[in-house]
Amino acid sequence: MLEQIKQQIDRLKAKGVTYADARYYPFEESNQLFMQNGNLKNASSSRESGVGVRVLYKGAWGFSASSDLSDLPGLFDKAFENAKAAAERVTFPVRLAEKDAIQAQFASPCQINPFEVPLSEKVAFLKAMDERMNQPGVFLRNAYLTFMRKQIVFVDSEGSQIEKLITEVFAGLEVNGMDAQGVMHERKFRLGQMGKPTRGWESIDLDLFAANAERIVRELNELLVADDCPKEDRSVILLPGIMYLQTHETIGHALELDRILGYELAYAGGSFVTLDDFGKLRYGSDLLTVRADATVPNSPGSFGYDDDGVPCQNVTLIDKGILVGAITGRQMVEEANARAKKQIFQGSGGANRATAFYRVPIERMTNINIDPGNDGTLDDIVAKTERGIILDGDRSWSIGSNREQFHFATEIGWLVEDGRKTKVVKNATYKGFTLPFWNSLSAVGDESTWQLQFVENCGKGQPNQIMQLGHGIPICRFDNVRIGE
């Protein structure tokens, strides 16, 4: 198959295409299990394979994909014909940033292939967790396991050949209960990196999940008898369970370069960031340094090489509060530099990815991480907070179409008075405008507070593409934030 793909690429080169590539998926498989109140509600598996072909001709892309590999010449010809049709209407001719020809392999760190683990063992794990959560106060309890595994062979007309084997493991627990007013509340636990260098079945740690099952049940019961969150301005201390979402929505999506250039406006919105902002805009306080780091081990945002054949990189996005970079691929950096009439970007940041062989690669978040600071542990930050609230867990969210503002509801809050954590409050919310909020960042926890959270369902693109990624974040404090409304 690989030799046949190379032959088709060479054939199109001879016909005058500027560039061509193919992503061959020998297989992509998934397995989902979901248990609710002790009943296995879903146990599904899927497997597919196919080829996606991109062709660049006279400044326009053509794309074609199929799971039927019996007619590769026809598949490549269709992509070429699509490029020729698009070239008649192109308004901004596509150019690609330079890259090296690469022959490489990459595999996610995995000791035990989760697809080789018996179904009975997976169900037994869910059952054990369900029993842990089956306690007074819990009205509804959920436990889930999701496994993904895919092989991708990338070949392009510039001489690259890259083979990847990606394994993903996602898992979580959730408990729900009803307070005296008839309002449902929830507490969740999701598997993240948890300091482990591997992410196969071995990452499903029974002791880790059991301890967190007990914790979320305890916190749920505290919520059910708690007072409502006050409506006032306080310092907000965000734990990783909500800090990841704050980073995702108001930094990650805002700094995708295709969004900055207006390509997502019809679907997922744009960005308040402009090309003139790079190197100038004060995005946050001096304590804020953010990276798109796809080199972090054991994360769904680390994948070796992107779908342009560019190696994963650690790209600084915000340096001590100043915007300096974006989430980029080969095409958009060239267009951005041309539009700005200056060189903002030196090359691709290696962030172009597609969710499947039948989707085109677009710029996606990798691991959007915040550097840890020097303000110590949660206890240290609380001790230096006069009037504050500690928040955790994502419950609902609303974001401005250009990521210029936000409103988040969290699962749980703990008030802070005179340097001490006091009582639990329910229905805790906070809101703000993106730039003033990040500029109010007044404390960043040390490395011991830094956690890498997994995201398995980030949506973007038309048609929609679901992507997996990560966020490594410390505990952070922001001052003068409106809460409770």
* pLDDT tens sequence across 432-459: 999 999 999 999 999 999 999 999 999 9
Total number of residues shown for the chain: 485
pTM here? 0.96
> Beta strand pairing status for 290-293 and 314-319?
antiparallel
Whole-angstrom distance, CA of residue 159 vs CA of residue 234 = 57
Task: Dump the DSSP string for 123-155.
Answer: HHHHHHHHHHH--TT-SEEEEEEEEEEEEEEEE
* pLDDT tens sequence across 375-418: 999 999 999 999 999 999 999 999 999 999 999 999 999 999 99
Per-residue pLDDT band for 163 (boundaries 50, 70, 90) equals: very high
Instruction: Tell me the CA distances in angstroms from 234 to 135, 389, 482, one per residue in order.
Output: 34, 7, 7
> Beta strand pairing status for 227-228 and 420-426?
parallel
Please name which of 389, 402, 476, 475 lies closest in space to residue 440, comparing C-alpha atoms.
Answer: 476
Please name which of 84, 404, 458, 410 lies closest in space to residue 236, comparing C-alpha atoms.
Answer: 410
Residue 195 has pLDDT above 80, yes or no: no
Tokens of 174: 């959730």
Residue 266 has pLDDT above 90, yes or no: no
Per-residue pLDDT band for 198 (boundaries 50, 70, 90) equals: confident
Tokens of 138: 């819990």
Residue 264 has pLDDT above 90, yes or no: no
Torsion of CA 96, 101, 104, 108, to 10 degrees: -10
Task: State phi, psi for 407 to the nearest 5 degrees.
Answer: -145, 120
Residue 272 has pLDDT above 90, yes or no: yes
Tokens of 57: 């001709």
Please name which of 289, 230, 261, 265 lies closest in space to residue 415, comparing C-alpha atoms.
Answer: 230
The fraction of the chain above a pLDDT of 70, given in percent, is 100
Tokens of 146: 């999701």
- CB burial of 392-427 (b: ≥16 within 10 Å; e: otherwise) equals bbbbeeebbebbbbbebbbbbbbbbeeeebeebbbb
Residue 194 has pLDDT above 90, yes or no: no
Instruction: Tell me the CA distances in angstroms from 385 to 229, 282, 443, 480, one per residue in order.
Output: 18, 25, 10, 12
Beta carbons of 146 and 122 less than 8 angstroms apart: no
Whole-angstrom distance, CA of residue 326 vs CA of residue 319 = 12
The fraction of the chain above a pLDDT of 90, given in percent, is 96
Q: Is the dihedral of CA 240, 245, 247, 252 positive or negative?
A: positive
Domains of the chain: 2-225 (3.30.2290.10), 228-483 (no CATH)
* pLDDT tens sequence across 81-91: 999 999 999 99
Q: Tell me, what's the pLDDT at 318?
A: 98
Beta carbons of 147 and 88 less than 8 angstroms apart: no
Q: For all residues of the chain together, what is the average pLDDT?
A: 97
* pLDDT tens sequence across 246-255: 999 999 999 9
Q: Tell me, what's the pLDDT at 311?
A: 98
